[in-house]
Amino acid sequence: MNDYLNLNMPQEKIGAISNLGLAHLGDGVFELMVRSWLCMHGKATAKGLHKAAVGYVAAPAQARMVKKILDDLTPEEQDVFRRGRNASPHSIPQNASREEYAAATALEALFGWLWLKGEKDRLNELFGRMMEEE
């Protein structure tokens, strides 16, 4: 049986996943982390949790927060981030510029990649830096 909460996928299998596939997974990872952070920090009532979460997972917010970690990425993480940024999405949400959406997609691809590698400590480290002063 696979343990989908504790993955450690081989690099060659991760490499076979498309940039947008990594971003799709990373979107879920990032949103779960945001929801956990909101609950743990008492940032919103039950009624406002969804609205609060959307405020952090929307492309403009992700693009703003990703700037806090860019200089700390390893060369391998920078490559994954670059691949995600250069992905060609079919559409861009109305509330985001092309640059914001590219940065958000890159962040999500990085989080998806780290998740598949089982790099929970690194995910927590990067996420913690991004959420400082929030």
Could you list the active site residues?
Answer: 27
CB-hemisphere CA count at 13 Å for 18? 6
Pairwise CA distance, residues 96 & 60, whole Å: 6
The separation between the first and the last C-alpha atoms of the chain, rounded to the nearest angstrom, is 39
Q: What is the dihedral of CA 99, 102, 108, 113, to 10 degrees?
A: -130
Q: Which residue has the tokens 């200089």?
A: 71
Residues in Cβ contact with 102 at an 8 Å cutoff, skipping those fewer than 6 apart: 85, 86, 87
CA-nearest of 90, 109, 93, 81 to 25 is 109
